[in-house]
A and B are shown apart, each in its own frame.
Chain A
Amino acid sequence: MSAAEALTLEALKEGEEGIVTAISAPKPLRVRLLELGLLPGTRVRLLRRAPLGDPIEIEVRRTRLSLRKSDAARVFISIPKSQGASP
């Protein structure tokens, strides 16, 4: 696994965007995440972390979603080259 691939949703900074590359989770969680639109190629943005650091809130497909850090760590992302040039 290359260094770029090892980046996960959990590691994003507040306000930072990423593009989903893969999800590596047990089936129930994987299916849920995929069905909520976290598909490879989808743009996500970390909105904030909860006051106690966990869970996190992300924006995906025009909705706000909150998930635990341990689950977010299973979503691999890459950082798009053109930060800020989102549609």
Chain B
Amino acid sequence: MQVTSRRFKDSAHEALHDKDIQSAFSKVKGGFPVARAKSAGELPEFEDLRDQARDLKNHILENLDYYLEYFEDQVLLQGGRVHWCSSYAEAREVVLDICRDANAKTVTKGKSMITEEMALNEHLSAHGIEPIETDLGEYIIQLAHEHPSHIIAPALHKTKDQVTELFHENHGKYGFTERITDPQALVNEARSILRDKYVNADVGITGANFLIAETGSTVIVTNEGNGDLTQSLPKTHIAVSSIEKVVPTLEDASLFLRLLARSATGQEMSVYTTFSTGPKRMEDIDGPANFHVVLVDSGRSDLLGSDKQDLLRCLKCGACMNHCPVYQAVGGHTYGWVYPGPIGAALNPHMVGLEESRHLPNASTFCGRCEEVCPVRIPLPKIMRHWREQAFETQVTPKPERWGIGIWAFFAKRPKLYRLMTRVSARALKLMAGKKGVIRKLPLMKGWSSVRDFPAPEGTTFMDQWKKQQREGK
């Protein structure tokens, strides 16, 4: 997908003036976070589970090669195949080859962020294979030729009216000519169209929430059951997964499952948790004849051992964005690449380059809500700060900003000069304000004055007043 993170400020401006986006994203805070707080509150061991999950993920990352190879062995034993891909390009080719081997004309797809990353749909389409998204949200944005604005609610930015129009424009060819507005009727219409697609698809592609080393299983969680149909009806199932999704045992997966839905939507469990272990066996009633796992690295292994390794613990639950006031204000697309919100601000610079995405880790107040709710306790603000340090060191930070900090630090490091500077500033600002008590326009601080008045200083610094008092013996 085209990266537009460089435009962050312009995109934010547009989003802040778009009524639909504002109403869609401002609603987030009353929804998911409230549900999460409730369900976390109902589980006394929730905080302990978060610690355990963090520690277990750390252990996995320390031994990632071991668990991945273990996983591969088990997949092979079950009769499946594993493809190791170091880049998106490689992964796209592997998937395309499998689809060609299956003579695929259409493929159904479960929701998957990694295939979003590698722009798989575009690649398949370009080679004459039609991908059909089966998650309702993904289906909607596929019709609209857009990208997800939230990692678990991809069509969050779409209004009901927009969906009505989209379906009306696109569903005529299936015999649905009426313009419908009832949400349930819209869902039903999409469902009945997708039903045929499931049956006729040659290949089903899903992501994976977990890969289980001890059994060679891939696991997906959904609320619509679309993933099950995607992976069990077609002849071939391809599970595409990034490498950090592996967990040692089924027991371990259950630890993460207890956290995942609670953190994401406040559900105790997602409606469907589906395990796929190898292709259909003789005694199985259904299932794919071919089972492939495509493991994608694409820069992730570079994070191992770095100051940003913690990012690889991410479960893709979306809690950080649900709780992020910046995300709520500007929406998901503003971030300009696959991952929005705090996880995007911390991860995208690694994936698409710091120069391209330097605004992302900067556009945060470090309010800390994301870290407070992240089920695997990723220190997101700290990682964003590391990006800022890197940007400063490598001169990605624009000059005026660097100079500003330089000048300020020059004084802050010299208390005597600093006193003089603050003495003069306090007086000058007070004079500027006059009787009003505020300054409406601050020179050199347009960012402040464009939004707020500046409450005027009292006029004499604390340090000067204090010294005077001390001299006079109070």
Q: Do A and B bind each other?
A: no
